[in-house]
Amino acid sequence: MIVTATLKSLFGNLIFLSTISSLFIAQVLKLLFNMLKHKSKKVEIDVIETILWRTGGMPSSHSAVVCSLATSAGIKEGFASNLFIISLIFAMIVLRDALGVRRSAGIQAKTLNSLGKQTAKKIDIEFNTVKEIQGHTPLEVIVGSFLGIVIAIIFHLVLASKYQL
């Protein structure tokens, strides 16, 4: 009974709904953009893995989530509220990380893997690649941010008035 009430409360919360929807929509768009980018039908895409887990690419789901969260908090609780301020600072950290640290780490990993493979080939040794973490380009972050903001606004304009949430 408590679990049912908690779930009902959670799924009646516009901040939660818009944020989770932003994540899902961004990941689905990422899948579609990836399919368009690789027009060949031979490209095998693990749909579930892409929608639920894949990082990097257009649009940035990290950006969509944190911008939807901050926008929803601002609309629902007020733009001077503590919740909005915390959400905004959190969004700024995530956006900076997506553009800077993660992107730089990914570029460095690609370079390291390239050098390692070349060296391994020349001196005939085994080389284990490092994971290439995908960060985001500025355009991917901007599109993800805009997507999150728009989704939050739509949720609050449409659902709040229709369902009195």
Over range 98-116, report the average pLDDT: 78
Token duo for residue 47: 């749909």
pLDDT digits 0-9 by tens, 27-49 = 989 888 877 776 655 445 555 55
Answer whether residue 130 is part of any domain: no
**Could you tell me what percent of the chain has a pLDDT over 90?**
41
Answer whether residue 64 is part of any domain: yes
| Spatial distance between the Cα atoms of 158 and 165, rounded to a whole number of angstroms | 10
Q: Which range, 42-56, 112-126, 147-161, has the best average confidence (pLDDT)?
A: 147-161
Over range 79-105, report the average pLDDT: 89
Range of the domain at 28: 2-100+135-163
| Spatial distance between the Cα atoms of 110 and 52, rounded to a whole number of angstroms | 24
Answer whether residue 146 is part of any domain: yes
Answer whether residue 60 is part of any domain: yes
Instruction: Count the neighbouring beta carbons within 10 Å of the beta carbon of residue 92.
Output: 12
Over range 123-151, report the average pLDDT: 86
Residues 6+ apart with CB under 8 A from 150: none
Answer whether residue 140 is part of any domain: yes
CA 28 to chain CA mean position, Å: 11
Q: In whole numbers, what is the pLDDT of the chain averaged over residues?
A: 83
Answer whether residue 13 is part of any domain: yes
pTM of the full predicted structure? 0.77
Q: Looking at per-residue confidence, does 16 or 120 come out higher?
A: 16
Angle between helices 101-123 and 82-99 (to 10 degrees): 20
Answer whether residue 24 is part of any domain: yes
Q: Looking at per-residue confidence, does 77 or 132 come out higher?
A: 77
DSSP 113-154: HHHHHHHHHHHT---PPPP------HHHHHHHHHHHHHHHHH
List for the chain the helix, strand, coil content (%; round to 5): 75, 0, 25
Tell me, what's the pLDDT at 131? 73
**E strands within the chain?**
none
Domain total in the chain: 1
